[in-house]
Structures are given as structure tokens and as C-alpha cells.
């Protein structure tokens, strides 16, 4: 006698117990059928098994127990295996140049980048002394060398490094002060 021999008796039980009894009765059969079909479908047995249980639950509360459970399980597992094979044929891996996390050409990323550059340029303009001219020269799109920047600003090439360091430190402090600190969560005392 197998667990499937008890399935007709499930119909007489209560609604809550019926679902548990069906799962107990069909569990071994669903697992065996899914394991048998998984290799040919190119998927994992657990995925097929889960799809079959979902299909059983979608049948509705009133018709939870199929008339012929063995035939229904075989048909359901094979149908899910066919679906998995079709999905495997249609799905393709991402191309190396279009990774899912790559936002380079995304309009949203372009807009966010433009806002960040505007905020940076505005902060650079508020720096004291010769810092705005120095950092604007370093942010130039044509990527000038230290020699070109020193010639443009009329200062020695050796003083650019220390001055750049002081200006960037000032810019960091200025931007850190502008970033709003996160609010306290929970109760304040």
C-alpha cells in the first residue's frame, strides 16, 4: 500500500487538512517525477517540483485533489519540463558589453551625472583664494598637464601639487558640511 492509495479518503476530510494530506500523498511521486524529468529539461528537480506544487495550488480550493493523481502529476511535471526547455532555448546570457549593472548609456545616469558635475563646479566656484582657478584648470575637458596648468596660472610647477592637495581638502570639507546627516531613528532622549 502506498501513500497514493489514501488520496480518495482525503476528500472526506476538512478543507485545511485536505491540503496537507494531498501534499503528503503526492510528495514522493512529485519528487520522483521531477527528478526523472529535470535532466532532460535542463533545469533543477527542485524547480520542477515547485512549479508542480504551484500548479496544484492554482487549481483552486474546491478541486485540490485531482481525479487521477498519478496521471495528473505525470502530466504536470512533463508540462513544466516542456516549459523549462522552451525557456532555456529562448533565454540568452547577457553580452559582455551590456552588463546589467552598466549604466553608461542610461538616460537616468546621464542626468544624475550632469547634476553631480554641476554641484561640483558650483562648490569649486565657492572655494577661497586661487583654488577655483586651479581646480577648474584640472577639471578641463582636454586634460592638461601640470606644466600647462602652471603656465596658465602663472605659478611654478612644483607648487601645484601641495596647492592642489590643500584645495581638494577644502573642497572635501565643504562638501561634507553640505551633506545632510541622517536623522535619528526611534525615540530621542
Cβ-count burial 177-186 (b if 16+ within 10 Å, e if not): eeeeeeeeee
Instruction: Report the chain's mean pLDDT, rounded to a whole number.
Output: 80
The per-residue pLDDT for range 130-159, each reduced to its tens digit, is 999 999 998 888 888 989 999 999 999 999
pLDDT of residue 174: 86
The per-residue pLDDT for range 17-58, each reduced to its tens digit, is 666 777 788 899 999 999 999 888 888 999 999 999 888 888
Taking Cα atoms as reference points, which of 56, 48, 47 lies closest to residue 24? 56
The per-residue pLDDT for range 165-182, each reduced to its tens digit, is 999 999 988 888 776 656
Is pLDDT at 12 greater than 60 in this prediction? Answer: no
pLDDT of residue 4: 47
Report d(CA 137, CA 155) in Å as an integer.
13
Name the band, by pLDDT with cuts 50, 70 and 90, for residue 1.
Answer: very low
Coil, helix or strand at residue 138: helix
pTM over 0.85: no
How many CB atoms are closer than 10 A to CB 134?
A: 23
pLDDT of residue 2: 47
The per-residue pLDDT for range 77-117, each reduced to its tens digit, is 999 999 999 988 888 776 666 556 666 678 888 888 888 88
Amino acid at each position: 500500500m502506498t501513500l497514493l492509495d489514501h488520496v480518495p479518503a482525503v476528500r472526506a476530510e476538512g478543507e485545511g487538512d485536505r491540503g496537507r494530506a494531498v501534499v503528503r500523498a503526492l510528495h514522493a511521486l512529485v519528487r520522483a517525477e521531477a527528478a526523472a524529468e529535470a535532466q532532460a529539461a535542463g533545469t533543477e528537480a527542485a524547480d520542477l517540483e515547485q512549479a508542480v506544487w504551484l500548479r496544484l495550488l492554482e487549481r483552486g480550493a474546491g478541486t485540490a485533489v485531482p481525479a487521477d493523481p498519478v496521471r495528473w502529476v505525470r502530466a504536470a511535471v512533463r508540462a513544466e519540463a516542456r516549459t523549462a526547455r522552451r525557456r532555456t532555448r529562448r533565454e540568452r546570457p547577457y553580452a559582455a558589453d551590456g552588463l546589467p549593472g552598466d549604466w553608461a548609456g542610461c538616460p537616468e545616469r546621464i542626468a544624475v551625472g550632469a547634476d553631480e558635475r554641476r554641484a561640483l563646479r558650483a562648490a569649486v566656484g565657492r572655494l577661497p583664494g586661487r583654488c577655483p582657478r586651479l581646480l577648474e584648470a584640472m577639471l578641463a575637458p582636454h586634460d592638461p598637464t601640470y606644466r600647462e596648468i602652471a603656465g596658465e596660472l602663472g605659478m611654478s610647477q612644483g607648487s601645484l601639487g601641495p596647492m592642489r592637495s590643500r584645495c581638494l581638502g577644502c573642497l572635501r570639507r565643504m562638501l561634507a558640511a553640505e551633506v545632510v546627516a541622517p536623522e535619528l531613528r526611534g525615540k530621542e532622549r
